[in-house]
A and B are shown apart, each in its own frame.
Chain A
Amino acid sequence: EAGVAQSPRYKIIEKRQSVAFWCNPISGHATLYWYQQILGQGPKLLIQFQNNGVVDDSQLPKDRFSAERLKGVDSTLKIQPAKLEDSAVYLCASSLGGTGANYGYTFGSGTRLTVV
């Protein structure tokens, strides 16, 4: 099966500019997550979608970050305006859900954002 697709792979922007990242989850995975991984730290959840609805966005800096999953499949994460501290790898993951041994959770390769 195809994995979680993310683009672009790398992005360099100046502070105060805007940027958008795209994610296409594994086919059939209803749950989609965006994580932020700052260098030297573990990933931190930004937002979780179930189909096209938001389940948890408590850690999303809503004054500058937004995300959508309009048709319940692919998703876009936007930052506007970007700050230097937004430099990080943005990881998308999707989950099949289920329980026990059937539980699945797959990450994409990530988008490395550098804000200068």
Chain B
Amino acid sequence: AQSVTQLGSHVSVSEGALVLLRCNYSSSVPPYLFWYVQYPNQGLQLLLKYTTGATLVKGINGFEAEFKKSETSFHLTKPSAHMSDAAEYFCAVGRAGNMLTFGGGTRLMVKP
């Protein structure tokens, strides 16, 4: 069984500030980990994924995430927030050939 917990359903940052969205997972097997972004009335867009290899993963739009096995975490960060980053972000855990299990999502708000 696998599950995902995203701490904070809403996160607000100022433009130019650090973005940190938290994700903790549980999985009985080594996981594949994903971050997706969803803009209003749109589908899910893959930001980045960890499947194997380097634990610091870089994605699109300047986002990155680090897989920390000891902490069962996969937090998403971006050094400097932009207004266009305002969206809903979902962390998900999966494994080859299997479904993805999603967290409840974090809505990121960026203040000017």
Q: Give the interface of A toward B (CB within 8 A).
A: 31, 33, 40-45, 48, 50, 56, 91, 93, 95, 97-101, 103, 105-110, 112
Using C-beta atoms within 8 Å of the partner chain, give the interface range for chain B.
Answer: 20 to 34
Nearest CB to that of A97 among chain B residues?
B97
Knowing A98-B96, A107-B44 are in contact, say whether A44-B53 is a contact too (CB < 8 A).
no
What's the least CB distance linking A6 to chain B, in Å? 8
Residue B43 interfacial (CB < 8 Å): yes
**Which of A45, A48, A95, A100 is within 8 Å of B53, CB to CB?**
A100
Q: Which residues of B are found within 8 Å of A41, using beta-carbon distances?
A: 104-105
**Which of B34, B51, B90, B101 is within 8 Å of A100, CB to CB?**
B51
Nearest CB to that of A40 among chain B residues?
B105
Per the bound structure, the CA–CA distance linking A106 and B49 in Å amounts to: 12
Taking A97-B96, A103-B96, A110-B43 as given, write out 18 further A-B residue pairs in contact, using a Cβ cutoff of 8 Å, ordered by the A residue number: A33-B99, A40-B105, A41-B105, A42-B4, A42-B90, A42-B92, A42-B104, A42-B105, A43-B44, A43-B100, A91-B44, A99-B96, A100-B53, A101-B52, A101-B53, A105-B46, A105-B94, A108-B43
What's the least CB distance linking A47 to chain B, in Å? 9
Q: Which residues of B are found within 8 Å of A40, using beta-carbon distances?
A: 105
Per the bound structure, the CA–CA distance linking A40 and B90 in Å amounts to: 11
Q: Which residues of A are found within 8 Å of B104, using beta-carbon distances?
A: 41-42
Per the bound structure, the CA–CA distance linking A105 and B97 in Å amounts to: 10
Nearest CB to that of A46 among chain B residues?
B99
